[in-house]
């Protein structure tokens, strides 16, 4: 089963300059809880945006660079190779935008944090049409933290 995990602004932005354009500790806590123990598939830029590999999870990094290597990462050069490395069970696809596009036709579920802001950004993911919402948990804005909804989508 392939599950997308992402936070997406109302205007589709998921990142700017290799980082998230907001601070939402609740989203990071949810991400950790839902992905712990699962293989993570991500692009090289997403991997390199982490200060260190995330504990308790394998990091399978899609890259076009055949010479790329990093401690804590397993390199793959095409989606099928990444899935073969991940093995059976739930695979967490965590970005960036190009990686989501590569796996969209294969995804089974989306764990989406809708962030109710419209920041500038350089990484954009279009809305998910043809998906059915099965869960939503709304959270109001709090201080400098924007309002957001945790949403589960299935085909």
Identify the structural domains of the chain with CATH numbers, from first to last: 13-127 (3.40.430.10)
Region 22-36: what's the mean pLDDT? 97
- What string of DSSP letters covers 16-31? BTTB-SS--HHHHHHH
List, for residues 34-50, the tens digit of each pLDDT value: 999 999 999 999 999 99
CA distance 107 to 98: 14
List, for residues 70-89, the tens digit of each pLDDT value: 999 999 999 999 999 999 99
List, for residues 125-144, the tens digit of each pLDDT value: 999 999 999 999 999 999 99
Residue 110: its pLDDT value, please?
Answer: 98
Residues 84 and 67 sit within 8 Å (Cβ to Cβ): no
| Chain centroid, CA 109 distance in Å | 12
């Amino acid at each position: 089963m392939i599950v997308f995990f992402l936070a997406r602004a109302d205007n589709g932005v998921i990142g700017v300059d290799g980082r998230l354009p907001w601070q939402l500790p609740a989203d990071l806590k949810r991400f950790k809880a839902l992905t712990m123990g699962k293989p993570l598939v991500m692009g090289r830029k997403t991997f390199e945006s982490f200060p260190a590999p995330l504990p308790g999870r394998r990091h399978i990094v899609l890259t076009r660079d055949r010479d790329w290597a990093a401690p804590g990462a397993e390199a793959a050069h095409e989606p099928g190779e990444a899935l073969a490395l991940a093995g059976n069970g739930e695979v967490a696809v965590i970005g960036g935008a190009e990686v989501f596009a590569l796996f969209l036709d294969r995804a089974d579920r989306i764990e989406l944090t809708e962030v109710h802001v419209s920041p500038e950004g350089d990484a954009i993911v279009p809305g998910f049409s043809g998906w059915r919402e099965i869960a939503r948990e709304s959270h109001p804005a709090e201080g400098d933290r924007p309002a957001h909804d945790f949403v589960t989508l299935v085909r």
